[in-house]
Amino acid sequence: MKTRVAVHRDFHISRIDDRLYSAFIEHMGRAIYGGIYEPGHPTADADGFRTDVLKFVQDLKIPAIRYPGGNFVSAYNWEDGIGPKENRPVRLDLAWRSKETNQVGINEFGKWAEMAGIEMMLAVNLGSRGLEDARNFLEYSNFKGGTTWSDMRREHGVQDPYDVKMWCLGNEMDGPWQIGHKKATEYGRLANETSKAFKGFDASIETVVCGSSNDAMPTYPEWERQVLEECYENVDYISLHKYYGNNSRDTLNFFGKIEETGRYIQTIGGVIDYVKSKKRAKNDVHICFDEWNVWYHIREQDGKNVKAWDWPEAPALLEETYNFEDALFVAGLMNEFIRRSDRVKIACIAQLVNVIAPIRAEKNGPAWRQTIYYPYQFASLYGRGTALNVAVDAPTYDCRVADDVKYLDVAGVLDEAGTIVTLFMLNRHLTEAADLDVTLTGFAGAKVVEHLVMEGHDLRQTNDAANPERIVPTKGAGVAVEDGKLRGKLAPLSYHVIRIDVS
Ligand code: AHR
In tens, the pLDDT along 360-412 reads: 999 999 999 999 999 999 999 999 999 999 999 999 999 999 999 999 999 99
DSSP one-letter code for 80: G
Entry pTM: 0.97
The DSSP-derived string for 137-201 is HHHHHH--SSSHHHHHHHHTT--S-----EEEE-S-TT-TTSTT---HHHHHHHHHHHHHHHHHH
* Ligand 1 in reach of 350 Cβ (< 6 A): yes
* Ligand 1 in reach of 377 Cβ (< 6 A): no
How far is residue 210's CA from residue 287's CA, in Å, rounded to a whole number?
Answer: 10
* Ligand 1 in reach of 471 Cβ (< 6 A): no
Determine the pLDDT at residue 308: 58
Residues of the chain with pLDDT > 90, as a percent, come to: 97
In the chain, what are the domains?
4-10+388-501 (2.60.40.1180), 17-382 (3.20.20.80)
pLDDT tens string 468-487 = 999 999 999 999 999 999 99
Mean pLDDT calculated for residue range 131-144: 98
- Whether the pLDDT of residue 89 is over 90: the answer is yes
Determine the pLDDT at residue 327: 98
CB 1 within 8 A of CB 429: yes
How far is residue 129's CA from residue 126's CA, in Å, rounded to a whole number?
Answer: 5
Q: From the CA of 241, how far away is ligand 1's center (Å)?
A: 9
What's the distance, CA 53 to chain centroid? 18
Q: From the CA of 427, how far away is ligand 1's center (Å)?
A: 30
Q: From the CA of 96, how far away is ligand 1's center (Å)?
A: 10
Atom of ligand 1 nearest to the CA of 71: 6
Q: Which residues are catalytic?
A: 172, 291
* Ligand 1 in reach of 26 Cβ (< 6 A): yes
Confidence tier at 301 by pLDDT (50, 70, 90): low
How far is residue 376's CA from residue 63's CA, in Å, rounded to a whole number?
Answer: 13
Determine the pLDDT at residue 11: 98
* Ligand 1 in reach of 64 Cβ (< 6 A): no
Least confident of 28-42, 47-61, 233-247, 295-309: 295-309
Nearest CA to ligand 1 atom 6: 70
How far is residue 393's CA from residue 282's CA, in Å, rounded to a whole number?
Answer: 38
Whether the bond into 159 is cis, omega within 30 of 0: no
Choose the residue to mutate in 32, 65, 71, 302 for probing ligand 1, maximizing ligand atoms within 8 Å of C-beta: 71
What count of residues does the chain have?
503
Determine the pLDDT at residue 299: 73
Determine the pLDDT at residue 379: 98
Mean pLDDT of the chain: 97
Nearest CA to ligand 1 atom 5: 70
CB 215 within 8 A of CB 267: yes
- Whether the pLDDT of residue 102 is over 60: the answer is yes
Q: From the CA of 75, how far away is ligand 1's center (Å)?
A: 14
- Whether the pLDDT of residue 231 is over 90: the answer is yes
Atom of ligand 1 nearest to the CA of 175: 10
Angle between helices 251-279 and 324-339 (to 10 degrees): 30
Determine the pLDDT at residue 304: 54
Q: From the CA of 381, how far away is ligand 1's center (Å)?
A: 26
Nearest CA to ligand 1 atom 3: 70
